[in-house]
Structure 1
Amino acid sequence: MQTPPPGSEPSNYPRQNLANDRQVLREVAASQRQILLCVLGQIGVAILNGVVTAAKMPSLAILVLIAILAVLVFMIMSVIRLAKALALSPVLYTILMFIPCVSLIALLMLSGKATARLSQAGIKVGLLGADPNSI
């Protein structure tokens, strides 16, 4: 097996596809932003549910239930998208979304993995993740 001389680019060795990697990083950044919005949505729905329960307003309870289901569907879609972008098992994380407190922890774990991946690539990650348009 021949090794290339130092300082020269090997021509017959596989090169990393930078355009494909950039697309994956954009997908990770967009999905992480959705995951963080899911965290905010889950907290907001929990607060809204507590207020409606304390006020004993059954007519608003149906609207809260619809909001909970909408957040759950958005969480599942976002988790599948981010897990696929990070090459993780989307089935495991999807199952975790149905367990109330565990789902919040799973969302934060996924967000942490996405932050590590983006930071490793040298992308600045803010409070709501990295801006996919800047990648």
Structure 2
Amino acid sequence: MSNPYEAPKAQVGDSLRDDPGVEEVASGQKLVIYAILVYLAIILVRGGAGPIAGVLAIVSLVLSLMGILRISNGLGYGTGTKVLLVILMFVPLVGLITLLVLNAKATNRLREAGYQVGLLGARR
């Protein structure tokens, strides 16, 4: 027989906040946000200076690839999805749209985990 006055036994911790993938999503989201900002800077600089735009394009590509891989790992995406996202980064406008969609998914996941998401990323 069980005791009717015994407290219920349930997991009370926040499982999303304790998930190590959420931290990976947060760090990847910051990289993706910085990549988007650099991408927009390329659009502004492109008419004025050619070599600076080339350097900014490389920086944006590296930031976006690192961010995509971190967010994909944190969200539990498979290898095929990761490869598709990386390939999409090499198509000029489609890469920016991919970053924006992935950023939105990361924002939703982080808000579910209790993070506050601002313009430059998430914080607890």
Provide TM-score, normalisation by structure 2.
0.78
Matched-pair identity in %: 34
Alignment correspondent of 2:53: 64
Q: How does 1:94-113 map to 2 (within 5 A)?
A: 94-113=86-105
* 2:48 aligned to which of 46, 51, 54: 51
- Number of aligned residue pairs: 116
Kindly provide the CA deviation profile for residues 49-80 of structure 1, in whole angstroms up to 9, marking residues without a partner as x: 1223xxxxxxxx23432331222122112111
Secondary structure of the equivalent of 1:67? helix
The answer to whether structure 1 residue 126 and structure 2 residue 115 are counterparts is: no
Contact 2:28-2:69 at 8 Å conserved across structures: no
What runs of 5+ residues in structure 1 fail to find an aligned partner? Answer: 53-60
Higher alpha-carbon Rg: 1
Q: Cα distance 1:32–1:18, how it changes in 2: closer, same or farther (>3 A)? A: closer
Alignment correspondent of 1:115: 107
Distance 1:100 1:25 in 2: 29
Q: Cα distance 1:7–1:104, how it changes in 2: closer, same or farther (>3 A)? A: farther
Alignment correspondent of 2:8: 8
Distance 1:75 1:113 in 2: 15
What runs of 5+ residues in structure 2 fail to find an aligned partner? Answer: none
Kindly provide the CA deviation profile for residues 88-116 of structure 1, in whole angstroms up to 9, marking residues without a partner as x: 22111101100111111100101100111
Runs of 4+ in 1 over 6 A off after TM superposition: 15-19
Distance 2:114 2:15 in 1: 17
Distance apart, 1:26 and its partner CA? 1.4
Structure with higher strand content: 2
Provide TM-score, normalisation by structure 1.
0.73
**Counterpart amino acid of residue 99 in structure 2:** L
**Counterpart amino acid of residue 98 in structure 2:** A
